[in-house]
Chains A and B, each alone.
Chain A
C-alpha cells in the first residue's frame, strides 16, 4: 500500500513531442505529489508538485494532471527538448500521526531526440 507505481520505464520522443509519464498510488493518506528530474551524476531536482484538491497544475512546459478518484497522476512535458532527456521520478508523501512518508516511483528514463 506504500508503493507508487510508475510507467513507462523508458520513453523516447521526437523533439517537440509531448511525453506523458503516469503514476498510481494506493494509500489515500498521501496528500502531496511531486515530480523530480534527475540527470546522471546529479541529485533529483523538484520540477512541479500538486495536492489532491487540485486536478491540474501547470508550470512552464510541465503539467501535472491529478485524478483523485482513480488515485493516479501524470506528468506532461510540452514541446519537449533534447535537454529534457533525464530520469523522471514521481513521488507521494504524507504526514499522519507523526509518521512521515516520502515514497518515490520507480522512475522513467526519457530520451528526446533532436
Chain B
C-alpha cells in the first residue's frame, strides 16, 4: 500500500474556529511532512517529523500546531487562522528523513472565512 490519506478533503472555517487536519500512512515510513501549497505555487515545507519527533519547523506561525500521535498518523491543529492561510495542505511521508523520495497525499483544501 503506497497511499497517504488525508481527511477532510475540504474544510471551511472561520477565523475563531479550531479544527484539525489528519494524515495517515501504512507504508511503515518513519518521516512525515506537512506542506502548504497556494494556488499555482509550489509546495512549501512547514514541518518535518522523524520517528514521531518534530525535527524541523520552518518558522511557521504558532496558529499551526503539528502532532504525531504514532508512526502512522500526523495531525495539524489549526486555531485563529487568517484568510491568507487558505491553501491546499499536503501531507507526505518517506522511509526516513534521509530517504528523500516523498509520497504525497491528495491534500486538504482549506478556506478561512
- Residues of A whose CB lies within 8 Å of any CB of B are 32, 34, 36, 41-46, 49, 89, 93, 95, 98-100, 102, 104-107
Contact = CB atoms under 8 A, between A and B. Distances in A.
Interface of B: 4, 33, 40-45, 48, 55-56, 90, 92, 97-98, 100-107
Interface of A is mostly: strand
Contacts of A34: 100-102
B55 A100 contact: yes
B113 to A, nearest CB: 21
B46 to A, nearest CB: 11
Contacts, number: 48
Nearest to A100: B56
Given A43-B90, A43-B104, A44-B90, A100 B41 contact: no
Nearest to A45: B104
Contacts of A95: 97-98
A104 B106 CA distance: 17
Q: Tell me which of A46, A105, A106 has the highest count of chain B C-beta atoms within 10 A of its own C-beta.
A: A46
A49 B35 CA distance: 20
A44 to B, nearest CB: 5
Contacts of B40: 107
